[in-house]
């Protein structure tokens, strides 16, 4: 027998534990994309339970269904248009009044609703007791207690959802919000008018449609114009007549009056179902905040956490890096031994494996970084970081809420720029978008790791932390400059909810980490692979070139010069002579490869742009690597892997050894890291800037300004370091 299919939508306020429950239900069986027509992330999960194939949709977190924000519009439209079999409203049991506002609006829609009273343990520690049976009876909605971060009550929740979906349960016509007499009179009259004039052309619940028209809901009015045909103008005029009547009666807009009455309805429910113990309780979150948000010790702790994140990323990630590097080397050695010498072998070994292999070794570091960011988010510390940074952000005319997209930029700039939609002011959004690329995304981390690890040894973690800190400082300076010149405006007030601290679920953290890790791996088979092939092609052609000397003859001459000596030498001297011979041959091979690189198409490009980077201490190979970073910053490392590695036998340490034997110094490596930190964003970020600002002007401005700033800062680092004697 085939399993039955059901669709279940998860709705709820932000920080209600909705995503935790979604991850518990679906595990890694998730598909992440975008909602049709918009760039807000859409999550769908698939699970088979109790003989059913369930499609679980994680709707954006929202406090209401009033269509002001994109999240509210998406949530409401999905419930109205897609008609899921059941909508589970995840309610924060420790904040019942706030959560019930969305719940009452969901009940007014024509759908089957189930309440999940989540974080029941938090409510209990706060001395709250909720009568779930009374709540279910009052609202005529099934209610289930859950503790999402402990995976308690999840199976019961799914069982109830399936039972509700398969039941003949009718959408309750009573026990919804009962408005005052005048409002109910207008709703009833408008309902009758809609029934008579639309002839069933309106697909939504008639009472809900009447309420929305009284609230002057612009989206519903547009749908009326689309679906009611010739009668649409009459319907809108009738709705406006009732609005005018209510404004006259209440001396206020109907939507404001109806919101107040919904809260009155909620207050009555809470009086019936919620009892609060009078016993003294300890609010753990507030006590922790006394330390973590303290103006004196909060900042040192915050910077300690950030430093620890990068130190952990570098030190802990070093071990699996070696393992992956060893695997890449084994694969390269095996293919080298079995494949005949031809152009394809050159592409495979010196292009794809060398290029992609030099980047994929950093996968453990990327995963550790995203794990730490997920830890900040799931524990609730991310909001505290924004609160702490509020005063600093006011220096550039922003508020702490803008720091959340910037902090997200440590993972990836694209979703960070998209997250600026939560900012109310257009100037705030534009300013935050312009300075967010200065936050070092995970794609830049491999560049820092290879350069810092090569030239700074045990201090690499601290150097990387300093680079990230420099990005924050320069973003603040840039923001202050822009706010006082091209983006003048008053400081916005800072209002942000600080959710309670929660113990994160390892499963949830791993899912968040893996979601971003998959994006990195997809880049391996996409833009990075394509970039490696292009770099190899530019380096491999032209095939026939004139060398300054006959390297093959030189190698034969060197080998022949050692034959006679080795024949008569004793065993210890013979081994010494072999080492000298191999070193001389390797030097000639490196010279041939270096000349080949310089005379290739890539070398010619490098020679053209090299004068721009010479004052920064970066040679033509480094300049070419930086140029390829426009597509994706990871390609910088893969290009360096192809250009710098000149040994016949390549291993996981080949690039580091090649860099050490090149003209690059610790000072020029530091200048290169500073340039990578600031110069033009990757192609995906540039596209996100264009999309979110709606302007090519800001996109080009961001590219030009960031690149000029990168050159100036790298110049100051390199030339300033030389002046003070640092090398």
Angstrom distances, CA of residue 282 to CA of 62, 123, 127, 293: 29, 12, 10, 18
* pLDDT tops 70 at residue 471: yes
SS3 track for 458-470: HHHHHHHHHHHHH
* Max mean pLDDT range (85-94, 357-366, 639-648, 678-687): 85-94
Mean pLDDT of 585-590: 78
Q: Let me know if residue 39 belongs to a domain.
A: yes
Over the stretch 35-74, which tens digit does the pLDDT of each residue have? Answer: 554 545 678 888 888 888 899 998 888 888 877 777 788 8
Which CATH number characterizes residue 261's domain? Answer: 1.10.287.1770
Confidence of residue 651 (pLDDT cuts 50, 70, 90): very low
Given a cut of 50, is residue 652 above it in pLDDT? no
Query: Does 162 share its domain with 58?
Result: yes
Lookup result for tokens 């929660």: 502
Q: Is the dihedral of CA 635, 639, 640, 641 positive or negative?
A: positive
pLDDT at 701: 94
Identify the domain boundary among 217, 248, 276: 276
Both 138 and 214 in one domain: the answer is no
Q: Share the mean pLDDT of the chain.
A: 81
* CATH label of the domain that carries residue 72: 3.40.50.300
pLDDT score recorded for residue 1: 43
pLDDT more than 90, % of the chain: 11
The mean pLDDT of 401-408, rounded to a whole number, is 76
- pLDDT tens-place string over residues 239-262: 889 888 888 888 888 888 888 888
Is it the case that residue 560 has pLDDT exceeding 90?
no
Q: What pLDDT score does 647 carry?
A: 42
Q: What is the pLDDT of residue 40?
A: 59
Please compute the mean of the pLDDT values over residues 119-132 and round it to a whole number.
83
User: Distance (Å, rounded) from C-alpha 386 to C-alpha 392?
Assistant: 10
E strand spans, 206-347: 274-276
Given a contact cutoff of 8 angstroms between Cβ atoms, the answer to whether 33 and 42 are in contact is yes
For residue 649, pLDDT over 50 is answered with no
Q: For residues 25 and 71, state if they share a domain.
A: yes
Look at residue 431 and tell me if it is in a domain: no
Are 198 and 272 in the same domain? Answer: yes
Residues 303-324 have a mean pLDDT of 82
Q: Tokens in use for 200?
A: 């069933």
- Please, which pLDDT band fits residue 493 given cuts at 50, 70 and 90? low
Residue recorded with tokens 């292999």: 357
E-strand ranges in 124-191 read 128-130, 143-145
Other Cβ atoms within 10 Å of 78 Cβ, number: 19
Domain co-membership, 29 together with 161:
yes
Q: How far apart are CA 715 and CA 613, in angstroms?
A: 9
Show the tokens assigned to 69: 């924000």
pLDDT of 392 strictly over 90: no
**DSSP run (H or E) holding 547:** none
508 is a domain residue: no
Stated length of the chain: 727
C-alpha angle 513/519/524, rounded to 5°?
A: 125
CA distance 219 to 72: 12
Cβ count near 184 (within 10 Å): 12
Q: Is residue 144 part of a domain?
A: yes
86's enclosing H/E stretch is strand 86-92
Please give the pLDDT value at position 709.
Answer: 95
- Average pLDDT for residues 77-87, to the nearest whole number? 87
User: What's the confidence (pLDDT) of residue 228?
Assistant: 65
Q: DSSP string spanning 623-659?
A: HHHHHHTTT-THHHHHHHHHHH---SS--TTHHHHHH
Q: Is residue 171 part of a domain?
A: no
Percent of the chain with pLDDT over 70: 90
| Residue 293 tokens, joined | 């948000």
The CA–CA distances, whole Å, from 567 to 189, 384, 574, 580, 585 equal 112, 74, 8, 15, 19
Closest CA relative to residue 99, chosen from 9, 11, 13, 10: 13
End-of-domain residue from the set 276, 292, 310: 276
Q: Which token pair is 135?
A: 């709540």
pLDDT (mean) for 642-659: 62
The pLDDT value given to residue 229: 67
* 424 is a domain residue: no
pLDDT range class, residue 498, cuts 50, 70, 90: low
Residues 381, 292 contacting (CB under 8 angstroms) = yes
Q: Which helix (H) or strand (E) holds 11?
A: strand 4-12
Secondary structure letter of residue 453 according to DSSP: H
Which residue range(s) make up the domain with 107? 4-166
Could you say which of 224, 249, 276 is where a domain stops?
276
Confidence of residue 676 (pLDDT cuts 50, 70, 90): very high
Asked if residue 140 and residue 19 are part of one domain, the reply reads: yes
Q: What's the token pair of residue 325? A: 């590097």
Can you give the pLDDT at residue 673?
94
Query: Within a 13 Å sphere around the CA of 91, how many CA atoms are in the beta-carbon half?
Result: 32
CA nearest 419: which of 430, 408, 435?
Answer: 408
Tell me, what's the pLDDT at 170? 63
What is the per-residue burial (b if ≥16 Cβ within 10 Å, else e) of 673-703?
A: bbbbbbbbbbebbbebbbebbeeeebbebbb
Question: Coil, helix or strand for 525?
Answer: coil
pLDDT tier for residue 395 given thresholds of 50, 70 and 90 = confident
And the tokens for 404? 């959340």
Q: What is the pLDDT of residues 133-174, one digit of tens each?
A: 888 888 888 899 988 878 888 889 999 999 988 887 665 555
Cβ density class 570-585: b for 16+ within 10 Å, e for less = eeeeeeeeeeebeebb
- CA 638, 639, 642, 643 torsion-angle sign: negative
**What 3-state DSSP class applies to 58?**
strand
**324-349: burial string, b at 16+ Cβ within 10 Å, e else:** bbeebbeebeeebeeeeeeeeeebbb
For residue 631 the two structure tokens come to 């597509």
DSSP 3-state of 722:
helix
In total, how many domains does the chain have?
A: 3
Top-ranked range on mean pLDDT: pick from 68-72, 367-371, 592-596:
367-371
Tokens 């990005």: give the residue.
Answer: 471
What CA–CA distance (Å, rounded) separates 390 from 403? 8
The rounded distance, in Å, linking the Cα atoms of 236 and 229 is 12
Indicate if the alpha-carbon torsion angle 337, 342, 348, 349 is positive or negative.
Answer: positive
In a domain, 246, yes or no: yes
Element (H or E) spanning 380, and its range?
Answer: none
Rounded to an integer, what distance in angstroms lies between the CA atom of residue 119 and that of residue 141?
A: 19
Strand partners, 8: 56, 86
For 92, residues 6+ apart whose C-beta sits below 8 A from its C-beta are: 12, 13, 15, 16, 17, 98, 99, 118, 119
Which carries the bigger pLDDT value, residue 423 or residue 199?
A: 423
Beta bridge mates, 411: none
Average pLDDT over every residue of 332-338: 86
Let me know whether 155 and 212 are in one domain: no
Same domain, 123 and 190: no
Is residue 231 domain-shared with residue 157, that is, in the same domain?
Answer: no
228/269 same-domain check: yes
pLDDT tens for 163-220 read 988 887 665 555 567 788 888 888 888 888 877 766 666 777 788 888 888 888 888 8
Distance CA 500, CA 494 (A): 18
Question: Is there a single domain that holds both residue 78 and residue 214?
Answer: no
- pLDDT given for residue 121 in this prediction: 82
**Residues 164/86, Cβ–Cβ less than 8 Å:** yes
Measured between alpha carbons, how far apart are the two ends of the chain, in Å?
73
**Does residue 187 share a domain with residue 143?**
no
* Interatomic CA distance for residues 47 and 26, integer angstroms: 6
Whether the bond into 542 is cis, omega within 30 of 0: yes
Least confident range of 116-130, 407-421, 636-650: 636-650
pLDDT given at position 711: 95
Q: Alpha helices, DSSP H only, in 494-600?
A: 506-524, 527-540, 551-568, 571-599
């Amino acid at each position: 027998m085939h399993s039955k299919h059901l669709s279940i939508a998860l709705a709820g306020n932000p920080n209600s534990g909705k995503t935790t429950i979604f991850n518990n239900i679906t595990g890694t069986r998730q598909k992440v994309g975008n909602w049709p027509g918009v760039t807000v992330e859409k999550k769908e999960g698939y699970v088979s339970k109790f003989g059913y194939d369930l499609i679980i949709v994680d709707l954006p977190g929202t406090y209401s269904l009033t269509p002001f924000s994109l999240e509210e519009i998406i949530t409401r439209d999905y419930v109205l248009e897609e008609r899921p079999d059941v909508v589970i409203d995840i309610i924060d049991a420790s904040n019942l009044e706030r959560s019930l506002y969305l719940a009452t609006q969901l009940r007014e829609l024509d759908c089957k609703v189930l309440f999940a009273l989540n974080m029941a343990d938090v409510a209990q520690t706060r001395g709250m007791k909720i009568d779930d049976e009374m709540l279910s009876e009052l609202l005529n909605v099934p209610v289930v207690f859950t503790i999402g971060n402990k995976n308690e009550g999840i199976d019961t929740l799914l069982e109830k959802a399936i039972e509700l979906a398969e039941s003949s349960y009718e959408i309750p016509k009573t026990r919804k919000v009962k408005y005052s007499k005048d409002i109910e009179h207008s709703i009833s009259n408008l309902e009758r008018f809609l029934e008579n004039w639309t002839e069933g052309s309106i697909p939504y619940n008639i009472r809900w449609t009447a309420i929305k028209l009284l609230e002057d809901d612009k989206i519903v009015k547009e749908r009326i114009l689309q679906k009611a045909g010739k009668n649409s103008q009459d319907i809108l005029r009738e709705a406006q007549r009732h609005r005018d009547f209510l404004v006259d009666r209440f001396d206020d807009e109907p939507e404001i009056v109806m919101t107040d009455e919904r809260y009155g309805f909620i207050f009555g429910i809470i009086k019936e179902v919620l009892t609060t113990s009078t016993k003294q309780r300890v609010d753990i979150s507030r006590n922790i905040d006394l330390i973590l948000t303290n103006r004196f010790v909060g900042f040192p702790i915050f910077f300690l956490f950030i430093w620890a994140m990068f130190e952990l990323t570098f030190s802990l990630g070093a071990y699996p890096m070696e393992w992956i590097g060893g695997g890449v080397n084994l694969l390269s050695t095996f293919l080298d031994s079995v494949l005949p010498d031809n152009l394809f072998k050159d592409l495979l070994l010196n292009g794809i494996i060398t290029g992609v292999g030099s980047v994929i070794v950093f996968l453990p570091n990327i995963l550790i970084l995203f794990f730490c960011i997920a830890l900040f988010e799931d524990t609730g510390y991310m909001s505290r970081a924004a609160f702490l940074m509020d005063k600093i952000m006011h220096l550039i005319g922003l508020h702490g809420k803008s720091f959340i997209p910037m902090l997200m930029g440590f993972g990836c700039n694209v979703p960070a720029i998209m997250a600026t939609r939560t900012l109310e002011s257009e100037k705030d959004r534009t300013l935050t978008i312009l300075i967010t690329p200065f936050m070092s995304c995970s794609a830049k981390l491999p560049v820092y790791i290879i350069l810092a690890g090569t030239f700074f040894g045990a201090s690499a973690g601290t150097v990387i932390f300093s680079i990230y800190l420099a990005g924050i400082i320069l973003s603040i300076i840039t923001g202050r400059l822009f706010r006082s010149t091209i983006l003048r405006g008053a400081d916005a007030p800072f209002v942000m909810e600080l959710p309670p601290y929660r113990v994160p679920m390892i499963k949830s953290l791993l899912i968040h980490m893996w979601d971003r890790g998959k994006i990195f791996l997809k880049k391996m088979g996409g833009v990075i692979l394509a970039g490696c092939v292009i770099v190899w092609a530019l380096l491999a052609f032209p095939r026939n070139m004139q060398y300054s000397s006959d390297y093959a003859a030189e190698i034969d001459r060197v080998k022949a010069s050692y034959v006679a000596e080795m024949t008569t030498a004793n065993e210890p001297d013979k081994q010494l002579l072999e080492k000298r011979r191999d070193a001389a041959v390797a030097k000639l091979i490196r010279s041939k490869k270096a000349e080949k690189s310089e005379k290739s198409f890539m070398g010619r490009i490098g020679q053209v742009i090299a004068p721009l980077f010479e004052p920064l201490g970066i040679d033509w190979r480094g300049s070419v690597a930086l140029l390829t970073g426009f597509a994706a910053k990871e390609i910088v490392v893969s290009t360096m892997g192809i250009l710098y590695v000149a040994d016949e036998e390549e291993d996981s340490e080949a690039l580091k050894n090649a860099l050490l034997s090149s003209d690059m110094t610790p000072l020029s490596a530091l200048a290169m890291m500073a340039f990578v930190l600031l110069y033009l964003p990757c192609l995906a970020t540039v596209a996100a800037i264009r999309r979110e600002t709606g302007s090519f002007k800001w996109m080009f401005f961001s590219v030009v300004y960031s690149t000029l700033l990168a050159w100036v800062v790298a110049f100051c680092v390199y030339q300033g370091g030389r002046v003070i004697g640092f090398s």
